[in-house]
Structure 1
Amino acid sequence: MDTLHTIDGDHVAWARELADGGARYAVASWIDVLGRPKSKTVPIDHLPNLLAGSERYTPRGMGGIGRMNPIESEGVAVPDPSTLRVLPWDRRVVWLAADLHVGPDEPFALCPRSVLKRQVEAAREMGYIAQLGVEPEFYAFRQESVGSNRLEPIARSGELKPSPAYDVESTLDSMPFLDRLCGYLEELDFGVFSFDAEGGEGQYEFDFAHRPVLETADRLTLFRLAARQAAKECGLFATFMPKPFADLWGSGAHFNMSLEDLDGTNVFREGTGWSKETYQFVAGILAHAPALSAVANPTTNSYRRLVDRLADGQVSWAPTKISYGYNNRSCMLRLPANRPAVENRAVDSAANTYLAAAFMLAAGLDGIRRGLDPGEPRDDLSYQAGIERLPRTLLGAVEAFENDPLTTEVFHPAFVRDYAEMKVAEWEQDHREVTDAERSTYLLNL
């Protein structure tokens, strides 16, 4: 079997050790635009070949990466050995994160992991190591309710009004699922420090230790796999759809990003306050916020989350304006008192972590390079008029993405072209639909 690199003798011994421990198969997952891992599966004794780049793919059209093209050059999965994990829900399988290459040292233009790695290197060239913590929210519903008009949460206690957020009974009723998922994450060394019932019926959030940004993105890939697997084992299904129902809270994935110097000292703190680099970093993100939305809020459904209020009139807690504050959760960006990081509350659960993190990091670094000023923080409800708004639709975000000069610094022109084409088509398809709600409003009244 042809390989991209020479087979390493140490990897042969590693494969034998894994096999002795019960492993039978290995997957080296590259990540598609939707954030889903893709891979062939090889017997464990072929792990050395896999690590040498033996597995080839025709990736276009798989998960939204461009248009299918049966005559294009193949991509090669180049695994990162440091990411190898035995999957705790199926110990026969070991998982690795991989980059897609089209040559020995040439990343595939549409490879999200490679996009993020370039920004990690850009930060390092400026003397920084980017760290990221993510607060993923998701819904878990009963499997038998799929296809019904109303998906059923795990426990009826989840229907508390106005919200089951932080409710202990709701959490305990869901513990068979949550305990299983927490156990998987602990085996994967996630450093889980809390989980809870969130604002929607059947909605949950897990919080775990922050890591260097690339490592966190790899972990989020595994987190989604683990959540879905644990749900299936409990007769449930887990979804990272940002807004399943108009009257339920949306699912965010708040990004808490910070910078350390090369000695590991956080540069966002200055004494007991925030450093000038923090404000410059914030200003850069705000300056590129409309374009960032195209990858931080990547679906038409995402923009049903970014509204001031839920269908029943409750404040949504989702940001809609390009603003920042300290303990102001109505703002897009928050400077929280308990951690030296910039919290981006606009990122939702559908976001590809690699793409959103790459653009957010690039925007923040741009703010530092240019010495940008974010202006005064907001200490009031930022939903009011007079503040620039985040894009209202996926189409608006994609147009901003195409027109922002930073976009082509972060992404290959082929990525910009194919991503914009895919997302505009998604918006157009959604815009063609005529819903029951529209008929109810307009059919007899017009």
Structure 2
Amino acid sequence: MTEWVYANLTDIMGKVHTIALRKDYESFFKNGIGIDGSSIPGFASVNRSDLVAKPDMRTFVKIPWRHDEYLVLLKTYYEDNAFDKDPKNVAEKADLALKEMGYEAVLRPELEFFVLNENGRGNTHYFEPPYSDVTFEYRKKVSEAVQDMGIPIRYHHHENASGQIEVELLWIDGVELTCDYTIYTKIVSKWLAKDMGMAVTYMPKLKKDMAGNGMHIHMFLKKNGENIFRGDNEISQEARYFIGGILEHMPYITALTNPTINSYKRLNGGLEAPRYLAWGYRNRSTLIRVPARMKDIEVRNADSSANPYLAFSLIILAGLDGIKKKIEPSEPVDYDLYALSKEKLKEYPALPESLEDAIELMESDEFVKYALGNELYDTFIDMKKLEIEEFLQAITDWEIKKYRDI
């Protein structure tokens, strides 16, 4: 029986492209395989389309629920050099930047998504018990499969909205590997859903009155094997500088952490989606939360539509810039920002209100341009401007309902 390897490439917007190869195709594992970069959205023009995709053997893994089939993630090259527009290469650069400063990042992502054909039996709620949660068997299978692939799972549970679930990974060393494991978790969640006659979506905001899909990310830095964020009654000074860097740069990288038009329906809709550039201890109304154990921080604004290679990398690089420049954040907030009046909230700097605003801020920022590299930076902006233009030309159901009888 033929053994198959499904090799996966993540494009600029975070979508996965897969090629199936025989496991005994030795040349692929030694030299990679040629691909048409012009067929990957935003990757390459026709006259520079010959790219080589090589397997990252750290990610080679057996698919637990299929016989003699495997997964591997790809990295792309152009003329023997790492291809500048490959998001996976951005994460590798983030790890190198950490190493140059003597650090290693340890991350723990939380993935929220909806099971679309969840039929709503019972009153689904946060921590819905297995006997009344019709998503239970599905999310259990996803979590077990991911664990069998060597990816550590902290827990899985039903979230606040009907049919919404969360799978949270355990601590992972390194930015690139965290992104790899995030992509694999998404692949598994979609593949098993299809096998079970279901479908899932990572769309940030599915309905107006329902909680959206965030992609919170916990993190801390290690130096010489020791957690340098850890404190007793508060976090360390290095952690404060790291927070200061993230808060300073976040408005300019929001197009990467919240990259869709729909993302801003979540950010502007409340329900624990943070908009204001604040941080606090144990405070889920702030953009950055310091959990009770004082050993890590949680960045809460990113959503599940983000490309993890871009979003996680830029958050880490922003934090490192804070340490380099000793950027002191504002004082921590200990009250509920959601409970403040609109007038009071005007005192707090906020994230952009739309993708259009986020792109405009990103265009004005040299930090993001340097972090992504000129080609990826320009291409991402061009692709998002086209997306905004397409949306502005689209006729929505809301418009038809609102204006049809005029």
Q: How does the TM-score come out when normalised to structure 2?
A: 0.93
Question: 1:14: which partner in 2?
Answer: none
Question: 2:36: which partner in 1?
Answer: 58
Q: Percent identity?
A: 28
- Deviation string 1:400-440 (CA, Å, 9 cap, x unpaired) is 11211111221110111110000011112112234333454
Residue 415 of structure 1, aligned match among 361, 373, 376: 376
Q: 1:154 deviation in Å?
A: 4.3
Question: 1:277: which partner in 2?
Answer: 238
Residue 365 of structure 1, aligned match among 320, 329, 336: 320
Equivalent pair of 1:195/1:206 in contact (CA under 8 Å):
yes
Instruction: Please give the root-mean-square deviation of Cα atoms over the aligned residues, in Å.
Output: 1.9
Question: 2:55: which partner in 1?
Answer: 79
- Matched letter for residue 259 of structure 1: L
Question: 1:149: which partner in 2?
Answer: none
Is 1:120 the counterpart of 2:99? The answer is no
Q: 1:117 deviation in Å?
A: 0.6
- Matched letter for residue 295 of structure 2: P
Please give the alpha-carbon distance, in whole angstroms, between the structure 1 residues aligned to 2:103 and 2:252.
Answer: 24
Q: 1:215 deviation in Å?
A: 1.3
Question: 2:295: which partner in 1?
Answer: 340
Q: Which runs of 5+ in 2 are unaligned?
A: 339-344
Equivalent pair of 1:243/1:305 in contact (CA under 8 Å):
yes
Q: Which deviates further from its counterpart, 214-223 or 165-174?
A: 165-174
Please give the alpha-carbon distance, in whole angstroms, between the structure 1 residues aligned to 2:293 and 2:279.
Answer: 16
Please give the alpha-carbon distance, in whole angstroms, between the structure 1 residues aligned to 2:162 and 2:77.
Answer: 42
Gap change, CA 1:56 and 1:39, over 3 Å in 2: farther
Q: 1:61 deviation in Å?
A: 4.9
Residue 93 of structure 1, aligned match among 54, 69, 85: 69
Q: Which runs of 5+ in 1 are unaligned?
A: 1-21, 143-152, 310-315
Q: Which deviates further from its counterpart, 367-376 or 427-436?
A: 427-436
Please give the alpha-carbon distance, in whole angstroms, between the structure 2 residues aligned to 1:353 and 1:60.
Answer: 22
- Matched letter for residue 411 of structure 1: L
Question: 1:146: which partner in 2?
Answer: none
Is 1:156 the counterpart of 2:121? The answer is yes
Question: 1:236: which partner in 2?
Answer: 198
Tell me the SS of whatever aligns to 2:189. helix
Is 1:133 the counterpart of 2:108? The answer is yes
Please give the alpha-carbon distance, in whole angstroms, between the structure 1 residues aligned to 2:82 and 2:6.
Answer: 19
- Matched letter for residue 209 of structure 1: L
- Aligned residue-pair number: 399
Q: 1:169 deviation in Å?
A: 4.9
Equivalent pair of 2:113/2:166 in contact (CA under 8 Å):
yes
Is 1:181 the counterpart of 2:142? The answer is yes
Equivalent pair of 1:280/1:371 in contact (CA under 8 Å):
yes
Please give the alpha-carbon distance, in whole angstroms, between the structure 2 residues aligned to 1:294 and 1:171.
Answer: 38
Tell me the SS of whatever aligns to 2:162. coil
Is 1:44 the counterpart of 2:17? The answer is no
Question: 2:213: which partner in 1?
Answer: 251
Gap change, CA 1:87 and 1:23, over 3 Å in 2: farther
Q: 1:116 deviation in Å?
A: 0.9
Q: 1:180 deviation in Å?
A: 1.7
Please give the alpha-carbon distance, in whole angstroms, between the structure 2 residues aligned to 1:244 and 1:338.
Answer: 33
Q: 1:271 deviation in Å?
A: 4.0
Equivalent pair of 1:323/1:382 in contact (CA under 8 Å):
no
- Deviation string 1:36-89 (CA, Å, 9 cap, x unpaired) is 33232211111x322223311122352x325x6332241111222121101113
Question: 1:147: which partner in 2?
Answer: none
Question: 1:168: which partner in 2?
Answer: 129
Is 1:294 the counterpart of 2:242? The answer is no
Gap change, CA 1:191 and 1:23, over 3 Å in 2: farther
Equivalent pair of 1:89/1:229 in contact (CA under 8 Å):
no
Please give the alpha-carbon distance, in whole angstroms, between the structure 2 residues aligned to 1:50 and 1:93.
Answer: 16
Please give the alpha-carbon distance, in whole angstroms, between the structure 2 residues aligned to 1:222 and 1:436.
Answer: 34
- Matched letter for residue 103 of structure 2: Y
Q: 1:93 deviation in Å?
A: 2.0
Question: 1:390: which partner in 2?
Answer: 351
Q: 1:442 deviation in Å?
A: 5.3
Q: 1:240 deviation in Å?
A: 0.7
Is 1:35 the counterpart of 2:35? The answer is no
Equivalent pair of 1:155/1:170 in contact (CA under 8 Å):
no
Gap change, CA 1:284 and 1:61, over 3 Å in 2: farther
Please give the alpha-carbon distance, in whole angstroms, between the structure 2 residues aligned to 1:391 and 1:170.
Answer: 42
Is 1:26 the counterpart of 2:5? The answer is yes
Tell me the SS of whatever aligns to 2:286. coil
Tell me the SS of whatever aligns to 2:217. strand
Equivalent pair of 1:58/1:72 in contact (CA under 8 Å):
no
- Matched letter for residue 42 of structure 1: L
Question: 1:200: which partner in 2?
Answer: 161
Q: How does the TM-score come out when normalised to structure 1?
A: 0.85
Tell me the SS of whatever aligns to 2:324. helix
Gap change, CA 1:229 and 1:171, over 3 Å in 2: farther
Please give the alpha-carbon distance, in whole angstroms, between the structure 1 residues aligned to 2:132 and 2:30.
Answer: 45
Equivalent pair of 2:121/2:132 in contact (CA under 8 Å):
no
- Matched letter for residue 322 of structure 1: L
Please give the alpha-carbon distance, in whole angstroms, between the structure 2 residues aligned to 1:201 and 1:50.
Answer: 44
